[in-house]
Amino acid sequence: MKAHTLGAACLRVDDVLAVVNGTLQLRVAAEGPARDRITKTARIVAERVLRGETIYGVNTGFGDSCANAISESHQQALARNLVRFHGCATGALLSFEEATAVVAVRAAALARGYSGVRIELLEAMCALLNARIAPAIPCEGSVGASGDLTPLSYLAALLMGERSALLPDGSLLPGKEAVRRSEREPLALQPKESLALMNGTSVMTGLGCIAIARAQSIAHTACAITALMSAAMQGEPGHFDERICAAKPHPGQTLAARWIREALRGSGKATPLRIQDRYSIRCAPQVVGVLIDAIVEARRIHEIEINGANDNPLIDPESGEVLHGGNFYGGHVAHAMEMIKTQVANVADLLDRQLALVCNHSTNNGLPANLVAVTGSAATSHHGFKAMQISASALTAEALKLTVPASVFSRSTENHNQDKVSMGTIAARDALRICELTERVAAIALLGACQALELRNPDSADGLLRRVREVSEFNRADREYDREIAVLATAIRNNALGCGNWESP
């Protein structure tokens, strides 16, 4: 098992995904500058409190209550109560993978050594991750500044041995039992620690890492589907010529065109039936290319956020100063997720339009209407992919509806202390939902493309078509497709169809 030492090197998006998949463990440095920074800032907090200095959230109330002075005898209770009164999240639980990403991202932020937490806290977080235990976090309740307070309270509560834990199989475990399964004891959080755990952008960022990975697979799959559609409709492969991209060299467009060209190589050669295909085929590199470039930018933003200290206040490990600011504001992650939302939905729309082309006898260059394979008089009682197209249109419409930017719905809350907030967590949840819808659109479009290609060329040796046929037969007569859609959507989500591995343009 590979291991990553927190604080010693940046944790990348791919590292977070490896932790989620159980192929990478996180650990705290046994010695060195990273460990020294963490230890030093925890000591600075303790010393300043002993001297009677005021530190927000340690010996003051929270948010609009920051003018309330908290006596030493109540500071431990303040730390516990912060966790407890934020236990008001609602909605479905984050998946085990999503909650694991949240913990990994939060550990990376705290390991920067600006948060005033003890080594023991980070070690307890690593122990949970390495034991494949995650907090059970309801998905709703964050406005994205002061970070993800309410959902992150479920991580803090689990470390205290409270609430519930989530296991890889989706089952729940009482918090105390889960902590002990990780070979630790429940922590008594120190005054700064509950605030440091909760006052950050790690829910939106963890979810964002997963959305980025799913968007990558969608981009690859869309290029592969475009190649199948082009071949099935005997389209013009010259639309994907590298010289066209060189004349307007957006990196994502160039890479998408290359992926389509590579996928077309296994489809055989045929004389194009039109000098120019319709836009949903011809402009596919330009559409998917925007998504690829958005992914690159979203990865850059997320890797800064993952490795940034994003709680408040921060402790300068060099001077010992307490710095009050707003790094918990999730505006950059919100921006990244709005990009992913919009461009993934655009790809859903692209694939929906391709499916419409291939199903329509007036635009599919000689294929049967609705891709019906039945011939003779019996053909009139079959409708092939007619309902599949309706489902794809419904899924696409829902995805497009969700592209409305979440960040512009900032709401003043908490007695107008949090009067400008990012809504980054809502944007990340929207991005995941749009990915889910688009994976299903892609599954339907892929089934349609394979049907069309076999109708055009029954002897096609296309590798993707053969992989699809392992789970879905050629449609010889009307039948249900719901199971096959679900199986293929999951395969697309997990990048399991062999459409390619991510590479930066």
| pLDDT averages per 10-residue partition of the chain, 505 residues | 92 98 96 94 93 89 84 88 96 98 98 96 98 98 95 98 98 98 95 94 98 98 98 96 97 98 82 93 98 98 97 95 96 98 98 98 96 95 97 98 97 91 98 98 98 94 94 97 98 95 87
- Position 233 scores a pLDDT of 95
Q: CB neighbours of 396 closer than 8 A, spacing ≥ 6? A: 345, 348, 349, 351, 352, 437, 441
Pairing of strands 164-166, 134-135: antiparallel
CA atoms 262, 264, 267, 271: torsion sign: negative
d(CA 70, CA 60): 5
- Position 461 scores a pLDDT of 85
Q: Which residues pair with 28 in a beta bridge?
A: 6
How many other C-beta atoms can be found within 10 angstroms of the C-beta atom of residue 21? 12
CA 325 vs. chain centroid, Å, equals 27
Per the prediction, the chain carries an average pLDDT of: 95
Pairing of strands 314-315, 322-323: antiparallel
User: Is there a contact between 344 and 291 (Cβ–Cβ < 8 Å)?
Assistant: yes
Query: Known catalytic residues?
Result: 56
- Position 66 scores a pLDDT of 84
- Position 292 scores a pLDDT of 98
- Position 268 scores a pLDDT of 66
Q: Name the percent of the chain in helix, strand, coil, to the closest 5.
A: 55, 5, 35
- Position 504 scores a pLDDT of 86
CA distances from 84 to 140, 152, 177, 202 (A): 16, 11, 19, 19
User: Is there a contact between 407 and 314 (Cβ–Cβ < 8 Å)?
Assistant: no
- N-to-C CA span, the chain: 30
d(CA 313, CA 304): 19
Tokens read off for 364: 């599919």
